[in-house]
Amino acid sequence: MQFVIKKEHLLKSIQAVINAISSRTVIPILTGMKIEAKNNHIILTGSNSDISIQCRIPKMIDNEEIISNIEEGSIVLPVPHFPEIIRKLPENKVKVTTNNELITKIESGNANFILNGQNSNEYPKLPLQQNNVDFQIKKKDLKQLIKQTVFAVSTMETRPILTGVQVSLNKNELTFTATDSHRLALKKIMIDEANVEELSYVIPGKSLLELDKIIDNNEDLINVTMLDNQVLFHHEGFYFLSRLLTGNYPETDRLIPTTSETKINVNKKQLMETIERAALLADREQNNVIRLDTLQNNKIKISSHSPEIGEVKEEITIQSLEGEELNISFSARYILDSLRTIEDEQIEIDFTGAMKPFIIKVPNDPSILQLILPIRTF
């Protein structure tokens, strides 16, 4: 194998692929990065038990030659050494050459590296052929779906299915749902075109966080395809494959109250800052519980206390307050996690009594819904 490549392009792909490589894998070959030289492109692959990432760098980009002197072949090189070497090369041009003994030479300027590679035949085959596409979605929409739901997945392995985000497509409506059974986050987006009527599967939250790190926040469409118990995200030379979680995802629809007894409209930033202050003295051992009381004249009071340390209370005037008087306690962390993902300035919260879940919505935007269970404090 041999090729000469511009470092900046190689590095960009390495930085995406490296996210799939873990030193803790039980399969030794997966601690390395697979490099393949093909006639017209270079392919980099990384993989672990959850995700695989592949980047294909074309020989030409916008009429500029990125790769030259290609002799086909493949090798698996050690991580983090190979990425670190490329990152620190003295010049933008780098030559990579492999001999029959898997010895790989990396040359740039006066720097000469020799790395002991592994045989790429031992590297698992990944199902990255893309025969059909279930649906396409804009990268920025996919990032928003992830951001507004993934924080609510469970981090406990007691119910593994809850560590994932449920993805369901119904006609052109794509819904992401996450819940850890104490809170729920739901976001819908209409997509332009789908090749399937409906689908539903659960992607590990960690996979989506990795995907979010790598994809750009732009209008480009990314292809999404389910392939026997895996899901493939694909755009141009970029492939991201994640395993799916098996098991029945809870039916979350019936958890969501349809009526409300108390409804408030409030400025998101003001509410967040007030809750952040209250959280300072919320009892950390009791899930950071804070209390919200409705008052007269469109006011609410946010308070909390920590037995040994002290207490805090703050009254704020809100935009509107309708319905029953309310005294409710809930986790400051849960509501802050939720509010941080909302981009709009005004939010609505619908309560159905102190013991029932409440809902955070954006007025006039039914695509987003956050649900939080209160905490009993007596």
Peptide bond into 374 cis (omega under 30): no
Tokens of 16: 């995406």
Please, which residue, 124 or 310, has the CB nearer to a copy of itself? 310
Q: Is position 88 an interface residue for a copy of itself (rule: CB under 8 A)?
A: yes
- How many helices and strands in the chain, by DSSP H and E? 6, 28
Shortest distance, CB of residue 83 to a copy of itself, whole angstroms?
10
Shortest distance, CB of residue 80 to a copy of itself, whole angstroms?
9
Q: Is position 28 an interface residue for a copy of itself (rule: CB under 8 A)?
A: no
Q: Work out which of 110, 129, 131, 248 binds a copy of itself, going by CB under 8 A.
A: 110
- Taking residues 61 to 80 in sequence order and writing x for each that binds a copy of itself by CB under 8 A, - otherwise, the string is -----------------x--
Q: Which one of the spans 16-24, 124-132, 206-214, 302-310 is the region binding a copy of itself (CB under 8 A)? A: 302-310
Q: Is position 114 an interface residue for a copy of itself (rule: CB under 8 A)?
A: yes
Q: Which one of the spans 108-116, 133-141, 215-223, 340-348 is the region binding a copy of itself (CB under 8 A)? A: 108-116
Q: Is position 269 an interface residue for a copy of itself (rule: CB under 8 A)?
A: no
Residue 378's Cβ-count burial label (10 Å; 0-12, 13-18, 19+) is exposed
Question: Which of 228, 208, 199 lies closest to 164 in space, CA to CA?
Answer: 208
Please, which residue, 106 or 211, has the CB nearer to a copy of itself? 106
DSSP letters, 91-113, are SSEEEEEE-TTSEEEEEETTEEE
Helices (H), 176-241: 205-214
Please, which residue, 109 or 363, has the CB nearer to a copy of itself? 109
Q: Which one of the spans 86-94, 196-204, 215-223, 226-234 is the region binding a copy of itself (CB under 8 A)? A: 86-94
Q: Work out which of 43, 186, 202, 281 binds a copy of itself, going by CB under 8 A.
A: 281
Please, which residue, 90 or 247, has the CB nearer to a copy of itself? 90
CA R_g for the chain: 25
Tokens of 156: 């406990």
**205-214 vs 139-147: helix axis angle to the nearest 10?**
140
Element (H, E) at 241: strand 238-243
- Rounded (10°) CA dihedral 235, 231, 339, 265: 90
Q: Is position 316 an interface residue for a copy of itself (rule: CB under 8 A)?
A: yes
Judged by CB under 8 A, how many residues of this single chain contact a copy of itself? 31
| Strand, coil or helix: 90 | coil
How does DSSP classify residue 245? B
- Phi and psi angles of residue 177, each rounded to the nearest 5 degrees, phi first: -130, 135
- CA-to-CA distance for 360 and 264, rounded, in angstroms? 10
**268-280 vs 332-340: helix axis angle to the nearest 10?**
150
Please, which residue, 114 or 355, has the CB nearer to a copy of itself? 114
Q: Is position 81 an interface residue for a copy of itself (rule: CB under 8 A)?
A: yes
Q: Which one of the spans 41-49, 153-161, 258-266, 269-277 is the region binding a copy of itself (CB under 8 A)? A: 269-277
| Tally of residues, the chain | 378
Shortest distance, CB of residue 106 to a copy of itself, whole angstroms?
9
Shortest distance, CB of residue 326 to a copy of itself, whole angstroms?
19
Please, which residue, 109 or 124, has the CB nearer to a copy of itself? 109
Shortest distance, CB of residue 131 to a copy of itself, whole angstroms?
39
Question: Which of 125, 123, 121 lies closest to 28 in space, CA to CA?
Answer: 123
Residues that bind a copy of itself (CB under 8 A): 78, 81, 84-85, 88-90, 104, 109-116, 273-274, 276-277, 280-281, 308-316
